[in-house]
Amino acid sequence: MRTILVIDDHFVTLETICMILKKEGYKTCAARNAQEAQEHFFGNEVDLVIVDHGLPGITGSELAKRFKEIRNVSVLMLSGNTDLLEKPASVDALLPKPVSVPILLAEITRLISGTADAAVAQD
């Protein structure tokens, strides 16, 4: 079973994404901030990280960079920030919030299987 670390400071978004992923057969670790995220990252074999861009005290791209310095892991960033038009170098894919479930699941499948280069998907 693949493990996905989901990081978002908005509780409803975090719980919704985890619920969707569990229904699809993934194991999830949920974190609301960088400290919780790092605890899960170091305590679990994480296959994919889904991170919100706007976290308290740190950006999702900064956190992604830290993770990638430690382990080769794919990172999918979600962002409601309309000013963030380009995918940060530290992430493998960027999707806008709100994201449709089929698009989210397709991107997760692509990243976990490693079948394509990093992409930016927008509505």
Confirm whether 8 is domain-assigned: no
- Lowest pLDDT segment from 3-12, 51-60, 74-83, 93-102: 74-83
Confirm whether 96 is domain-assigned: yes
- What pLDDT does 120 receive? 40
**Average pLDDT of the chain, as a whole number:** 89
Confirm whether 43 is domain-assigned: yes
Give yes or no for a contact between 107 and 76, defined as CB atoms under 8 angstroms apart.
Answer: yes
Q: What is the pLDDT of residues 17-45, one digit of tens each?
A: 999 999 999 999 999 999 999 999 999 99
Confirm whether 64 is domain-assigned: yes
Task: For residues 80-109, give the mean pLDDT.
Answer: 88
User: Two tokens at 12?
Assistant: 């409803």
Residue 121: pLDDT band (50, 70, 90) is very low
Confirm whether 18 is domain-assigned: no
76: domain CATH number is: 3.40.50.2300
The domain in which residue 99 lies consists of 33-113
Confirm whether 11 is domain-assigned: no
- Core vs surface per residue 55-92: b (16+ CB within 10 A) or e: beeebbbebbeebbeeeebbbbbbbeeeebeebbebbb
Confirm whether 118 is domain-assigned: no
What total of structural domains would you count in the chain? 1
Classify burial at 23, counting beta carbons within 10 Å of its beta carbon; exposed 0-12, middle 13-18, buried 19 or more. Answer: exposed
Q: What is the DSSP string of 75-90?
A: EEEEE--TT--S--TT
Confirm whether 94 is domain-assigned: yes
Does residue 81 surpass a pLDDT of 50? yes
Strand boundaries in the chain, DSSP class E: 3-7, 27-31, 48-52, 54-55, 58-59, 74-79, 93-96, 119-120
- What pLDDT does 103 receive? 96
What whole-number percentage of the chain has pLDDT above 90? 76
